[in-house]
Amino acid sequence: MTRPYILGETNWKAVRDSNYEIAILPWGATEAHNYHLPYSSDSIEAERISAEAARIAWEQGIKTIVLPNIPYGVNTGQTDIKLNINIYPSTQMALLSDIVENLNRHAIRKLVILNGHGGNDFKPLVREIGAKYRDMFICLCNWFQWRGEEVFFEHQGDHANEMETSLLLYLTPDLVRPVEEAGEGKEKQIKIEAIRQGWCWAERRWTQITDDTGVGNPKAANAQKGEHFFKAVTEAVAKMLIELAKNNVNQLYE
């Protein structure tokens, strides 16, 4: 059965007669995720979270439409890792600008970028595009920054860690190698104190900070944790979609 809130599954007859309130653009990456997770991990997570959040919102009467996932992200710090597919921020700008132009043309004026990759820095892009399309409301949702992850998992980290491994064990277990084969995801810290403290920034050079491409120990991961976390995150994203749909973007502050 087709899902009417997934653009890639629906058809012109349904689309022609629908007045969508919000478009969701999942945006992932293609990159190594330790020894046990697939290169498509970020895209899988972005797609599945977008789809489930859209389903919840749709069933509450919110006309959402999930656009096809973009599977390439900014991987400039990982260009020496084989088949990590990098696109530059300028490429992202061109893609996002074209997509926004199309949505604006078809009077879909609310866009949520559901970002699944930490290297994708959309804020400068949204600022520039938003200045050109003043009647569009564009917001960025970094689902992996949702506050609550620590309730579900023992070990933190930000790449192929316990959280991501648990999610993939729940969503696509057939694509996950045994956790016993995974590296421990140990992260080497930079020697510059200001960068360690967070008030100074430099891009991480991935092969210098980790031996297995992971950051965060995945060993305690399991599918049950992934299921519970997935449900919590998608409900949170769906709540945001519902609030966005019900509010006039010209009167958002009180």
Q: What is the reported pLDDT for 205? A: 94
What is the third-level CATH fold of 12-246?
Rossmann fold (3.40.50)
Q: What is the pLDDT of residue 1?
A: 83
Q: Which two tokens stand for residue 166?
A: 């648990």
pLDDT at residue 150 in the model: 86
pTM of the full predicted structure?
0.96
Buried b (16+ CB within 10 A) or exposed e, 42-78: bbbbbbbbbbbbbbbbbeeebbbbbbebbbbbbbebb
Distance of CA 183 to the CA centre of its chain: 24
Domain edges within the chain: 12-246
Contact between 14 and 4 under an 8 Å Cβ cutoff? The reply is yes
Write down the pLDDT at residue 141: 98
pLDDT at 22: 98
Q: How far apart are CA 103 and CA 117, in angstroms?
A: 23
Please give the C-alpha separations between residue 66 and each of 3, 44, 140, 213, in angstroms, as whole numbers: 10, 14, 14, 30
Residues in contact with 176: Cβ distance below 8 Å, sequence separation at least 6, in sequence order:
36, 37, 38, 165, 168, 169
Q: Which two tokens stand for residue 100?
A: 């926004």
Q: What is the mean pLDDT for each group of 10 consecutive residues in the chain (254 residues)? A: 95 94 98 98 98 98 97 97 98 98 97 97 97 96 92 93 98 97 96 95 95 96 98 98 94 89
